[in-house]
Each structure stands twice: as structure tokens, then as C-alpha cells.
Amino acid sequence: MFDLLVAGNLLFTVPLVVVAAAVLVIAGRTAAGIASAGGDSSNGLQSLFHLGLFAFVFGLMSQGISLYQMMGAIQVAGGVSPALVAGGLRVSFIAPLFGVYIFVAALLLRFALAAWAKRVQRVEN
């Protein structure tokens, strides 16, 4: 796993790891808020969505930057084998896929916590 983070360029993958940790912390705090405050979770749910969306967009941006750098290197080198281009494309997909995984996890956590909050509010009313 660490090899993937390094291969995907630490400049992009480390912030995504931080965002993934923040998603987990906010999900935990939101769950605690639902359990103790009777379903008040709007700020936490919004934060989960926005952090997940940031991870997705940041991953796409990292791929754009990586592809731009790769095309510049190909232009300087002149002729490059298709296998080398395929390897570069493969590596450029690491950060975007990581961002998509974080986004999907944040959405699933948001959906589950929202459903739980509604259930808690119904029980209390």
C-alpha cells in the first residue's frame, strides 16, 4: 500500500490520506452527536460530502498535472515506447482512484449517518 502512495506522488497522495482521516474523524464525531444530541447532524453530514468532493476533485487535478508533466517529458524525449506511455498512464491513475474511493466512502458514511439521524429523530418525537 505504501508503494502505491509513493508511486502516485506523495505531493498528491499524502493530502488525500489526510482527507481520508478527516472523513473518518468527522464521521465519528457526527455519530457521537447523533447519539448524544438526538439526531443533530447537519454540519457533519455537509462536511462529509464536501471533504469527499474535495478528494475527488483533488485526485482529478493531480492526474491532470501528472499527464501534463508526462506529455512534456515525451515531447523532450522525442520517441517513447508505448509500454512506457502505458506505465505513465497507469501511475497517473493512482491519485484519482484514491480520491474516488474517499468520495464514495464519504457518501456512504453520509447516507448511513443521515438515515440513522432520521431514525433517532422519529423515535424522540
Average pLDDT, the chain: 89
DSSP annotation of 39: S
DSSP single-letter state for residue 54? H
123: pLDDT strictly greater than 90: no
Angstrom distance (rounded) from CA 75 to CA 73: 5
Q: Number of folded domains in the chain?
A: 1
pLDDT score of 7:
76
> pTM here?
0.88
Tell me the pLDDT band of 111, cut-offs 50, 70 and 90: very high
SS3 43: helix
Query: Cα dist. 68→4, 13, 58, 94, 120 in Å?
Result: 20, 18, 15, 15, 49
Predicted local confidence at residue 56, as pLDDT: 96
Average the pLDDT over 74-101 and give the result. Answer: 90
Q: Determine the structural domain holding residue 37 and report its residue range.
A: 2-122
Cα dihedral 90, 95, 98, 100 in deg (nearest 10): -90
19-68 pLDDT, tens digit each: 999 999 999 999 998 888 766 678 889 999 999 999 999 999 999 999 99
pLDDT at 97: 94
DSSP 8: T
